[in-house]
Amino acid sequence: MPLLTLEGLGKRYRQGEVEVTALHDVNLSVEEGEFAALVGPSGSGKTTLLNIIGGLDSPSSGRVHLNGIDITALSESELSDFRLLQLGFIFQAYNLVPVLSALENVELVMVMQGRHLHERRERAEHYLQLVGLESMMHRRPAALSGGQQQRVAVARALAAGPRLVLADEPTANLDSENATALLDIMHRLSHEEKTTFIFSTHDPRVMERAERIITLRDGVVEGDERIEQHRHGQ
């Protein structure tokens, strides 16, 4: 069974007197461990789709099944718990807590999950080491570069053990070296830990590494291509 299934997904909203269709009849399924990119011009519906998959926004029509659960039927509190346990988010703006160290930022979601201190600390240190920040884990975000802050955000998303990681333009603020390093880490983890990644992106560096490219235009899926040659684990 696919990890994620979207059935007849639509999203409409009002802009003044006009009704705008952001998504129209989107049908997709994503398997566990996929490394997929949502691409398309600005305004094509990428971020809206990502927000609906992540339960941050609700569709006007259709269903989202994630890990066997219809998240569109959940109450607000059930959805909040589901997000906490099943989903990881990586945002363009990092969203780190300024008064916490890198280590504490990575632990934060696991604190909310109710994990024990020893397990939290062990997992946070492990993922910060994976993203190459073992020597900086006690620094606060202000003492880290943009690329380092984004690595902390990736470690935070992964340490909580999500089934699916949603990343909205995660490389937009990064130089080539940092973007490449970060993508290599995420690509490796998708294979080693069977974590599923869906990126919303304009970045050719992400598209080069994606194993599936889903193209949106005017809220409609225009193309869906699996790229098998990238499966040799760059």
pLDDT at 45: 92
pLDDT confidence of residue 171: 84
Torsion sign (Cα): 227, 9, 166, 222? positive
Q: Is residue 137 part of a domain?
A: yes
Asked, for residue 24, whether it belongs to a domain, the answer is: no
pLDDT of residue 234: 44
Structure tokens at 79: 């959805």
Q: What is the pTM of this model?
A: 0.90
Q: How many domains does the chain have?
A: 1
**153 belongs to a structural domain:** yes
Residue 52 lies in a domain: yes
Domain with residue 51: its CATH number is 3.40.50.300
Give the separation between CA 136 and CA 139, rounded to whole angstroms. Answer: 6
> What is the pLDDT at residue 230?
44
- Read off φ and ψ for residue 23, nearest 5 degrees: -140, 145
Range of the domain at 85: 31-61+75-232
- Asked if residue 214 lies in contact with residue 28, where contact means CB atoms within 8 angstroms, the answer is yes
Looking at the domain assignment, is residue 167 inside a domain? yes
3-state class of 148 per DSSP? helix
Mean pLDDT by 10-residue block, N- to C-terminus, for the chain (234 residues)? 95 90 96 93 91 94 96 94 93 89 96 95 94 94 91 92 92 83 86 90 88 95 81 44
In a domain, 161, yes or no: yes
Which residues make Cβ contacts (< 8 Å) with residue 34, sequence separation at least 6?
Answer: 3, 190, 196, 197, 198, 211, 212
Q: Is residue 5 part of a domain?
A: no
Please identify which residue in the block is written with the tokens 């339960």: 55
- Three-class SS of residue 111? helix
Domain membership of residue 110 (yes or no) is: yes
pLDDT of residue 139: 97
